[in-house]
Amino acid sequence: MANIKTNENQTSSKGINFGWIWSEYSVIIAFIIIFAAATIMNDRFLYFENQMNILMQVSTIGVISLGMTVVMLSGGIDLSVGSVLAMAGVFSILSLNASESILIGVMTALAVGALAGLINGLLVAKGRIASFIATLGMMAGARSIALYYSDGGSIASEVSSFMYISNSALGPVDTPIIIFLGLTLIIYILMQKTRFGRYVYSLGSNEKATLFSAIRVDRIKIGVYTLCGFLVGIAALIETSRLNSISSSSSGNLYELDAIAAVIIGGTRMTGGKGKVIGTFFGVLLLGVLNNMMNLMNISPHLQGLVKGLIIVIAVLFQKRD
């Protein structure tokens, strides 16, 4: 028996390098494959303008996905992000038009997003409601509020300079791209280098053990959902200022599914405790490249969902999971 175990260990040690590389970098490998395929299929893909367009298109979902990553690492999920984005956008423009102050409009979007996240966190942490149910309720409630205060339609900003938030640039790089990249770095540092990040991973891995370690689990949960809501508020500003308007019925529609897909493709485990922000970053880019490639190839919009779904399933199937 000892010999058998020794042989198994040796076999495991021989294959551990490849297995570790695939486990840690599968999303990057998948991204490189999709990127290379897009380059071969269309010579316009590598144009600088097209690359910037991809980053611009994924900036809103990217910011939301960062918040979703933190929530899912804690073992939860947030289904309300799309509806909260619409609600934050509606209140942002209403306050902007009433005050004619861009600062007030910005602060309103951030406050509404963070407040919605705080409510989600309180329902999950203090109300002991499953995150799926709590955020499902917020999804319905936030969308309803957005529709009510906009009379079920769109609201346009009366302050034209508001649109410069998303339609300005630093050199050749648009502001939303800079915001997305900057927030990715900040959330990466938060999750990898701070006590809060360690507690989130611990909570997602084993909530009881985390509680017995004298860690204030409730505070971590509330903090996680509030942070996610705050990031949704930033995403609402990006989307609202880009169009200088917000649609209460269609803005943010199904954004939660794209964000969850990016996080899962990035390697974050559904049950929490395992995953990385950099994985989500490449998951977002992978979906962006995939969408762009299909548009360049003139694939019917009615089939793009099918192609995206197949890529998501294949990516998840080939990921090594514990």
- Report if residue 10 sits inside a domain: no
Whether 188 maps to a domain, the answer reads yes
Q: How many domains does the chain have?
A: 1
Specify if 6 maps to a domain: no
Domain that holds residue 310: 25-317
In a domain, 7, yes or no: no
**Tens-digit pLDDT string for the chain (322 aa):** 444 444 444 444 454 566 666 667 788 888 998 899 999 988 889 999 999 999 999 999 999 999 999 999 999 999 999 999 999 999 999 999 999 999 999 999 999 999 999 999 999 999 999 999 999 999 999 999 999 999 999 999 999 899 999 999 998 999 999 999 999 999 999 999 999 999 999 999 998 998 888 889 999 999 999 999 999 999 999 999 999 999 999 999 989 999 999 998 898 888 888 899 999 999 999 999 988 988 888 888 888 778 777 766 776 676 554 4
126 burial via Cβ count (<10 Å: 0-12, 13-18, 19+):
exposed
Check which CATH number belongs to the domain holding 240 and give it.
1.10.3470
